[in-house]
A and B are shown apart, each in its own frame.
Chain A
């Protein structure tokens, strides 16, 4: 059984259909890349899997470990192991990154009937992960993402991913707004989290990211459907021919 199985998914927002019969199966241990032009529905797919309100699912299913994900609230999906690294992480002045991380981690541990981390253990754990991502300790004491650069915000997303240890990681345009050094750090953080227990969906419209995070499967998405799937060689084909060839396929 696949960890994530999306079947014939049709999704609209404000009466406009964006996903038009999308199928996707992701097994534990695999890294899938979804590539496609702007407006092809990549971000919508990530939002619908993670439970963002405002979308209408008119047909289809999303199964996670065989369970109906669409029947769950966003927070329940998160506690079951779905993690979305946001394309545009929000800023919350007045809530320190540290307090936010503790609230998130404890909410998840509580939902899984695990004991909450003690304060010293929690701080030690955050410091270790933050160091590995070159996140200075001072940043953790500031308001969440307030005054953070684009690269710092993305590193903060990976920090959360590492702490929460999800089984499905969806990375929505994690490379946007990153310079080459920041991209290297972020990709290093993501690669460190690859494991046989965990699946990842990497969404991007730039092939460059795939030099750093080498996927097992690449999907090309256009007009709300997966138009073609293949191995990493598909990236080279895209590089040579662009997305145009997929626009009118299927």
Chain B
């Protein structure tokens, strides 16, 4: 019997992309070998379609093909990028800037890093042939195709190490700027937070003026040491017609605390996926996420929280506000491993629909393999309450201002836990900006 294997359009396009990018990808020898294996893994799977983890986001249909790798930014592109970086910078943060997937020291604040904080670019680390252990930085530890693709194609990123016991005062902000159109960029960063250390990591995704139709794919891998405390915030505000994919893989040690917040407020197709494993007893996770959606945007926020050991706590609050023909996907999966007794985990997903065409898919899942745990989830979708709107209008607020106040109140629960306070104010200002731009 004769078998015909037909490659999809997406498959063929990526073939060219990987081959074409070859000279641009840092690392040789073992690193190059691992990249090739990662790309093969991606090719076998293709862009996700009809698989449970991507149930509501058919990336093959939504994204089509992987676009060619963005060229290195020229001087004009850096000028445009600088303007976006300025608008995106968080107060007091130490900025680390990636433009079109390339580290740009002159836009970054590498000279003002605090003691105990070491930052190297991923490119520098992978090109350092004397340190073969670094090859592991491109190892894909999951079977997720977009993470494999990221491992194969990552051009740059950061390797950040924070020494044991350091309390880093200023937030570290990685700013991703895309200046090109119809191109793709791939970045990958690592954070190792030492035992008992405290730090805040912000990741911002923005475009320079004029950039359109691009694709961005980022991965962040973080190890939170025992008794350490990490505040991790990601803010995706890509161009309105961009495809944004980002993944984080985080392990949290014993008695450590991770405060995570994610917000996506632009981009035509966005998928954020977080995989958090509580690996040490007594660790605490607070993971909140906000999708702000309009036009025909599709925003998927998916979190998998893995309680691998006993006595850990996780609290997840997901909120979506959907206007016009937008579509929100909020998926949360809580896994409690056998023996992870005394796990305390809750997840709530709430969607606010501002138009008749808006759509929300909430999928909370519990997979409990231990017998002495407290786990719960709740999910709601609905429109703004007309009685509340009238109350505010009767006090003089316009329809739009009344809605904005109620949307702000709806999001408040997810935002109020952001630490430090300066970052909370920054996020609140972003949500207000989004509401002001509503028609």
Residues of A whose CB lies within 8 Å of any CB of B are 50-53, 73-75, 77-79, 83-84, 86, 89-90, 92-95, 99-100, 103-104, 107-108, 111, 143, 160, 164
Query: Which of B46-54, B69-77, B384-392 is near enough to bind chain A?
Result: B384-392
Q: Is there an interface contact between A103 and B391, defined as CB atoms closer than 8 Å?
A: no
- Answer whether A75 and B393 are a contact pair too, CB < 8 Å, given A94-B413, A107-B398: yes
Chain B proximity of A228: nearest CB distance (Å):
29
Q: Is there an interface contact between A75 and B408, defined as CB atoms closer than 8 Å?
A: no
Cα-based distance from A111 to B410 in the complex (angstroms): 26
Chain A proximity of B384: nearest CB distance (Å):
11
Chain A proximity of B396: nearest CB distance (Å):
4
Q: Give which listed residue, A52, A73, A78, A94, contacts B395 with CB less than 8 A.
A: A78
Q: Is there an interface contact between B393 and A103, defined as CB atoms closer than 8 Å?
A: no
Residues of B within 8 A of A100 (CB): 392, 395, 405
Within 35-85 of B, Cβ neighbours of A (below 8 Å) are at none
Residues of B within 8 A of A95 (CB): 405-406, 408-409, 412
A108's nearest neighbour on chain B, judged by CB, is: B396
Q: Is there an interface contact between B406 and A92, defined as CB atoms closer than 8 Å?
A: yes
Chain A proximity of B428: nearest CB distance (Å):
11
Q: Is there an interface contact between B401 and A92, defined as CB atoms closer than 8 Å?
A: no
Q: Can you name 7 extra interface pairs (CB under 8 A) apart from A53-B390, A75-B399, A77-B394?
A: A52-B394, A89-B391, A90-B391, A94-B408, A103-B395, A103-B405, A107-B395
Classify chain B: how many residues form its interface, as a range.
20 to 34
Cα-based distance from A20 to B257 in the complex (angstroms): 65
Chain B proximity of A117: nearest CB distance (Å):
14
Cα-based distance from A176 to B385 in the complex (angstroms): 24
Q: Give which listed residue, B397, B399, B409, contacts A94 with CB less than 8 A.
A: B409
Cα-based distance from A95 to B385 in the complex (angstroms): 14
Q: Is there an interface contact between A103 and B386, defined as CB atoms closer than 8 Å?
A: no
30 A-B residue pairs with CB within 8 Å:
A50-B394, A53-B386, A73-B399, A74-B390, A74-B394, A75-B399, A77-B394, A78-B393, A83-B394, A86-B394, A90-B391, A92-B388, A93-B409, A93-B412, A94-B410, A94-B411, A94-B412, A94-B413, A95-B405, A95-B409, A103-B395, A103-B405, A104-B392, A104-B397, A107-B395, A108-B395, A108-B396, A111-B396, A160-B395, A164-B395
Q: Give which listed residue, B388, B398, B406, B409, contacts A75 with CB less than 8 A.
A: B398
Residues of A within 8 A of B393 (CB): 51, 73-75, 78
Residues of B within 8 A of A143 (CB): 409
Q: Which 8 A-B pairs have the closest CB atoms?
A: A94-B409, A94-B412, A78-B396, A104-B395, A95-B409, A74-B393, A108-B396, A107-B396
A91's nearest neighbour on chain B, judged by CB, is: B388
Q: Is there an interface contact between B396 and A75, defined as CB atoms closer than 8 Å?
A: yes
Within 347-401 of B, Cβ neighbours of A (below 8 Å) are at 385-388, 390-399, 401
Q: Give which listed residue, A52, A53, A75, A160, contacts B397 with CB less than 8 A.
A: A75
Q: Give which listed residue, A52, A99, A107, contacts B390 with CB less than 8 A.
A: A52
Cα-based distance from A143 to B386 in the complex (angstroms): 18
Cα-based distance from A104 to B402 in the complex (angstroms): 9
Cα-based distance from A75 to B326 in the complex (angstroms): 28
Cα-based distance from A86 to B405 in the complex (angstroms): 19
Residues of A within 8 A of B395 (CB): 78, 100, 103-104, 107-108, 160, 164
Cα-based distance from A122 to B398 in the complex (angstroms): 21
Q: Is there an interface contact between B388 and A78, defined as CB atoms closer than 8 Å?
A: no
Within 199-222 of B, Cβ neighbours of A (below 8 Å) are at none
